[in-house]
């Protein structure tokens, strides 16, 4: 009996390539200590320390933990889908990783989807740590299952919006500029982006502007959802940002 040893050249199925690329991107993200600090340790510290935030900042009526917890979840999405993704993609582009992978049988769309998949996996880890911690600190989300449905929709839309913006700057600026811009935006949005402080505490003009900014929409949307309300308007803002930034990224992204 003879065995058929005829070579069968060709690329792997798209599903297999996507799983492999996502796994590699996830390993690279988790091996980077700075990224782990940014995506998990800082939000966790802010969640624990934020229970005393009302002694420093006027957060308005309501329990402090109920105000802080949704903001920290929004911050976790920002740190992973924008800052971490932008920096890692920017340096992959600088060192020629994207160029080499783009010339391989791996489709460029699968390469970017692998990065998005890794972001989603890290966010799942973040939420698996932050939500139980917030509940242990006394967080009492309202709205039953509907609130969590709104939360999932907001996180998905927020990830798409921030991810598209992160890829936009990573695909157009130099790596050093991407690093500076991503970190600067992270700090600015953390301090005054409507993540930790409710938009009701902002002056009227600033509040109207922040409602249209992705960070403000995500933070306020999660607070509204877990207060038992509707988050339709914030969700719409995030979807628009994701669409506009996505189109801009596709048109301007440079692979080398």
Q: Which residue has the tokens 């740190």?
A: 79
Q: What pLDDT score does 239 carry?
A: 96
SS3 (DSSP) at 213: coil
pLDDT tens series, the chain, 256 aa: 455 566 565 566 777 777 888 888 888 777 776 777 777 888 888 888 877 765 556 666 778 888 899 999 999 999 999 998 898 888 888 878 777 776 677 777 777 788 888 888 889 999 999 999 999 999 999 878 899 999 999 999 999 999 999 999 998 999 899 999 999 999 999 888 888 888 888 888 888 999 999 999 999 999 999 998 889 999 999 999 999 999 998 888 887 7
pLDDT at 4: 59
pLDDT on residue 76: 93
Determine the Cα–Cα distance for residues 238 and 218; give it in Å rounded to an integer. Answer: 7
Phi, psi of 12 (to 5 degrees): -70, 160
Q: DSSP for 118-160, please give it.
A: HHHHHHHHHHHHHHHHHHHTT---BSHHHHHHHHHHHHHHHHH
Task: Locate 163 and state its tokens.
Answer: 């991810």
CB of 16 closer than 8 Å to CB of 107: no
């Amino acid at each position: 009996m003879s065995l058929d040893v005829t070579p069968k050249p060709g690329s792997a199925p798209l599903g297999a390539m996507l799983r492999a690329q996502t796994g590699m991107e996830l390993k690279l993200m988790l091996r980077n200590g700075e990224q782990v600090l940014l995506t998990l340790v800082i939000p966790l510290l802010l969640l624990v320390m934020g229970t005393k935030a009302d002694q420093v900042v006027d957060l308005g009526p309501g329990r402090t933990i109920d105000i802080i917890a949704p903001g920290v979840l929004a911050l976790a999405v920002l740190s992973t889908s924008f800052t971490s993704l932008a920096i890692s993609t920017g340096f992959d582009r600088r060192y020629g990783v994207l160029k080499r992978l783009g010339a391989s049988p791996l489709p460029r769309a699968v390469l970017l989807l692998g990065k998005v998949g890794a972001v989603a996996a890290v966010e799942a880890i973040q939420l698996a740590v932050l939500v139980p911690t917030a509940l242990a600190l006394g967080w009492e989300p309202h709205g039953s299952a509907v609130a969590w449905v709104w939360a999932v929709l907001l996180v998905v839309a927020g990830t798409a919006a921030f991810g598209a913006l992160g890829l936009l700057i990573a695909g157009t600026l130099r790596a050093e500029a991407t690093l500076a811009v991503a970190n600067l935006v992270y700090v600015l949005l953390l301090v005054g982006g409507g993540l930790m402080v409710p938009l009701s505490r902002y002056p009227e003009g600033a509040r109207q502007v922040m409602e249209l900014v992705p960070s403000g929409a995500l933070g306020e949307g999660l607070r509204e959802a877990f207060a038992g309300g509707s988050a339709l308007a914030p969700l719409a803002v995030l979807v628009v940002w994701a669409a506009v930034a996505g189109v801009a990224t596709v048109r301007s992204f440079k692979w080398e």
